[in-house]
A and B are shown apart, each in its own frame.
Chain A
Amino acid sequence: MDLLNAFIALSNFVLIPGIAYGSQLALGALGVTLIYGILRFSNFAHGDTMAFGAMATIMVTWLLQSWGISLGPLPTALLALPFGIAFTALLLLGTDRVIYRFYRTQKSPPVIFLIVSLGVMFIMNGLVRFIIGPGDQRFADGERFIIRAREFKAWTGLSEGLAFKTSQGITVITAVIVVAWLFWFLNKTRTGKSMRAFSDNEDLALLSGINPERVVTITWILVAALATIAGVLYGLDKGFKPFTYFQLLLPIFAAAIVGGLGNPLGAITGGFVIAFSEVTITYAFKKVLTYILPDSLDPTGLVQLLSTDYKFAVSFVILIIVLLFKPTGLFKGKAL
């Protein structure tokens, strides 16, 4: 019974939040890694692209809600998601046309692109705040919980409760579907193969008749989809506020780099590595250990490695360790 209680407590505060957060980071890191692999630069505007995508989806959600359209127990935002992706894709293609293409024809070095993307980041930052404001926005509707902590306790008779939010369930399922589809697309379709060829060797790809502008366009559309989905899932799970997306940029980059920049599998692994390290290192294990250990060994302290204030620091420590010992990341990406 005690072991079961310990497992439930761990699931409630570490496993479930970690898996949901890891999926959100993985989707974000996939976008970063795609841009790095195919367009060859670190896109600092990615966090704010996620914010823009989430914002566009929220606007459409509100419109649908005002028309009385809903998905029953599921959040209406899922219905609005395709529209959000479309708006974000338009924005990204526009940005590419107006800004990035100029530097691409100049064959500017990646560091110039990086600085340019920093500028784009600030503009998107302002754009999102200008349209929806800097404050919190609530747009989640439908059933909030799959399992409620109180009901779980009554139902199982355990002393620990387990909560499983609808947003967490949707996050995990959507992430699995999106990742599976992306891998199928990159490995099996003609377009996907041409993108990988472009990524491996640009000149060779051009020689074999691949249209670079088409590859770039499709990459931006994929990135828009990934960023919007990640942004909306994060917003559904934790609430939308433009500034938190800007902060999210750091763990997302850490995830992409830890996994190996340019490597999709690495981005996913990196996302979960970062998420679980953040959650486990800042979790106080007192309760879990009290259940597992015999009474005489009960911990008196909190058994917390780092205070939760240092959450963001954790991802950077891991990032530094990985860069020191394996500069290409866990899954042989490109070295920075």
Chain B
Amino acid sequence: MKKMLMATAATALLAGTASADDVKLGILIGFTGPIESLATHMGAGAELAISEVNAAGGILDGTNVAGVRADTGCIDNGLSTSNAERLISAEGVSGLIGGDCSGVTGAILQNVAIPNGMVMISPSATSPALSTVEDQGLFFRTAPSDAREGQVMAEILMDRGFQSVALTYTNNDYGKGLADAFQAAYEAAGGSVTINAAHEDGKADYSAEVGALASAGGDILVVAGYLDQGGLGIINASLDSGAFEQFVLPGGMIGDSLPENVGPDLNGSFGQIAGAPGRGSETMAAFGEEHGFEGTSPYAPESYDAAALFMLAMEASGSSDPADYVGEILNVANAPGEEIYPGELAKALDILRAGGEIDYVGGSAVELIGGGESAGSYREIEVQDGANTTVRFR
């Protein structure tokens, strides 16, 4: 009986895993935890790029690529580093797509990737702290830093003629990072931040916080929080007390539930969320429909792009050794060369084999700057008639 169980377990483990000759890519994201609803689509996006390449005959003279999934729990440093260790030592992956949330991504990078010389491309870690981290050139991300979102938000406010704002953020790395980045960008552009105050999520009553914000004044309130959490409470309390009537909503506040919960008073508020215009995202949407996942779900295009970048860099360098292909990542991602959109990976591989150059655009308009992070494009959102409407791209 025991033997049979072992045998079954062994078969279960073997089933779906690749043969030894394949080039393996770890897909290390939070399949459980706070962003588990996004992770499904992110994983599917990465695997779609891999199967597209395999259908085109693989990389490096016909070697197939295989994706190996592992969990980070989004906020579980212990789980994510041990899974990263396992992917590298037991599975023998040649690159890590991940991590997903900023905290675990930093932990994996410091504790596993750097000691092992492994390259990481994160599709969704957005903390500005990761821009300056000592990564020995091994860390890239297809998601833009929140520092960039701060700049975009400052531009939007300036274009709309708001010269002074009150600012509140959710008291964690994401909120603080975004708030500080925004304040710096906005003040550099000539605006003034009357108050920069934290709020805690999960409280019943935000009238005291709103009282302080209202007392400081400002033409509009920037709410760098979460739409189902304190951010919603702050907006409701502001509207109730008449403290603010219009709000700026960064990425964490964009979602259908916010206009639904707040009601018509939210009309006229505006904000931004990462998202690329045009052909790339349209193709991703179509791909998603075809393969049964949401192609435009947050960070799904970025995951596709992360996987694609790995494989294209390997082909360009002619090797799946991280030390060899790491230098090619920036070359395939940026100009010059022929622009590559989702679904054109076969064409990209052909160009590379012929010794040509490519400029990978992908689903999220990849343009890697500052040592390997996405320059980032954003959708400017305005709440109109109770719905988030994309006004333009930035």
B212 touches A304 (CB 8 A): yes
B211 touches A286 (CB 8 A): no
A309 CB–B CB distance under 8 Å? yes
B49 CB–A CB distance under 8 Å? no
The CA-CA distance from A334 to B205 in the complex, in Å, is: 32
B212 touches A308 (CB 8 A): yes
The CA-CA distance from A120 to B121 in the complex, in Å, is: 50
The CA-CA distance from A270 to B200 in the complex, in Å, is: 26
- CB contact list, A286-336 vs B, under 8 A: 286-288, 302, 304, 307-309, 311
The CA-CA distance from A9 to B211 in the complex, in Å, is: 9
B215 touches A13 (CB 8 A): yes
The CA-CA distance from A308 to B198 in the complex, in Å, is: 9
A sample of 29 inter-chain contacts (CB < 8 A) reads A13-B211, A13-B214, A13-B241, A13-B243, A150-B242, A153-B242, A161-B241, A161-B242, A163-B242, A234-B204, A238-B204, A238-B205, A239-B204, A239-B233, A243-B202, A244-B205, A282-B211, A283-B208, A283-B212, A284-B195, A284-B211, A284-B216, A285-B215, A286-B215, A286-B216, A286-B217, A288-B215, A302-B216, A311-B208
Contacts of A132 in B (CB 8 A): none
Additional A-B contacts beyond A152-B242, A161-B241, A279-B211 (18; CB < 8 A): A12-B241, A13-B210, A150-B242, A237-B205, A238-B204, A243-B202, A244-B203, A282-B208, A284-B195, A284-B211, A286-B215, A287-B214, A302-B212, A304-B215, A307-B198, A309-B171, A309-B198, A309-B200
- CB contact list, A263-288 vs B, under 8 A: 278-279, 282-288
A241 touches B204 (CB 8 A): yes
Q: In the complex where A244-B203, A286-B215, A302-B195 touch, is A149 in contact with B242 (Cβ < 8 A)?
A: yes
Contacts of B207 in A (CB 8 A): 13, 17
The CA-CA distance from A308 to B199 in the complex, in Å, is: 8
Contacts of B195 in A (CB 8 A): 284, 302
B156 CB–A CB distance under 8 Å? no
Instruction: Identify the B interface with A (CB < 8 A).
Output: 171, 195, 197-200, 202-205, 207-212, 214-217, 233, 240-243, 245
A193 CB–B CB distance under 8 Å? no
Contacts of A241 in B (CB 8 A): 202, 204
**Which of B199, B211, B217, B241 neighbours the largest number of chain A CB atoms within 10 Å of its CB?**
B211
A216 CB–B CB distance under 8 Å? no
Q: Report the count of interface residues on A (CB-CB < 8 A).
A: 38
A283 touches B211 (CB 8 A): yes
B208 touches A308 (CB 8 A): yes
A14 CB–B CB distance under 8 Å? yes
Contacts of A288 in B (CB 8 A): 215
Closest to B233 in A: A239
Contacts of A12 in B (CB 8 A): 241-242
How distant is A285 from chain B, measured CB to nearest CB, in Å?
7
Contacts of B197 in A (CB 8 A): 307-308
**Which of A145, A153, A244 neighbours the largest number of chain B CB atoms within 10 Å of its CB?**
A244
How distant is B106 from chain A, measured CB to nearest CB, in Å?
25
Instruction: Identify the A interface with B (CB < 8 A).
Output: 9, 12-14, 17, 21, 145, 148-150, 152-153, 161-163, 165, 234, 237-239, 241, 243-244, 278-279, 282-288, 302, 304, 307-309, 311
Contacts of A152 in B (CB 8 A): 242
B211 touches A165 (CB 8 A): no
How distant is B3 from chain A, measured CB to nearest CB, in Å?
42
The CA-CA distance from A17 to B210 in the complex, in Å, is: 12
How distant is B279 from chain A, measured CB to nearest CB, in Å?
40
Closest to A304 in B: B212
Contacts of B202 in A (CB 8 A): 241, 243
The CA-CA distance from A284 to B243 in the complex, in Å, is: 13
Closest to A135 in B: B228
The CA-CA distance from A278 to B210 in the complex, in Å, is: 14
A278 touches B208 (CB 8 A): yes
Q: In the complex where A12-B242, A243-B202, A244-B204 touch, is A284 in contact with B209 (Cβ < 8 A)?
A: no
Contacts of A285 in B (CB 8 A): 215
Contacts of A304 in B (CB 8 A): 212, 215
The CA-CA distance from A244 to B241 in the complex, in Å, is: 21
B212 touches A284 (CB 8 A): yes
The CA-CA distance from A237 to B233 in the complex, in Å, is: 12
Contacts of A165 in B (CB 8 A): 240
The CA-CA distance from A279 to B245 in the complex, in Å, is: 23
Closest to B213 in A: A284
Contacts of A279 in B (CB 8 A): 208, 211
Contacts of A162 in B (CB 8 A): 242
The CA-CA distance from A311 to B217 in the complex, in Å, is: 21
Contacts of A302 in B (CB 8 A): 195, 212, 215-216
B217 touches A163 (CB 8 A): no
Q: In the complex where A239-B204, A243-B202, A244-B204 touch, is A163 in contact with B241 (Cβ < 8 A)?
A: yes
Q: Which of B217, B240, B241, B245 contacts A287 (CB 8 A)?
A: B217
Closest to A235 in B: B204
By Cβ-Cβ distance, the 9 closest A-B pairs, closest first, are: A149-B242, A161-B242, A13-B211, A244-B204, A284-B215, A284-B212, A238-B204, A287-B215, A238-B205
Contacts of B242 in A (CB 8 A): 12, 148-150, 152-153, 161-163
The CA-CA distance from A130 to B174 in the complex, in Å, is: 32
The CA-CA distance from A325 to B387 in the complex, in Å, is: 57
Contacts of B233 in A (CB 8 A): 239
The CA-CA distance from A38 to B131 in the complex, in Å, is: 63
How distant is A286 from chain B, measured CB to nearest CB, in Å?
5
Q: Which of B171, B204, B205, B211 contacts A14 (CB 8 A)?
A: B211
The CA-CA distance from A285 to B215 in the complex, in Å, is: 7
Contacts of A145 in B (CB 8 A): 240
The CA-CA distance from A309 to B171 in the complex, in Å, is: 10
The CA-CA distance from A14 to B241 in the complex, in Å, is: 11
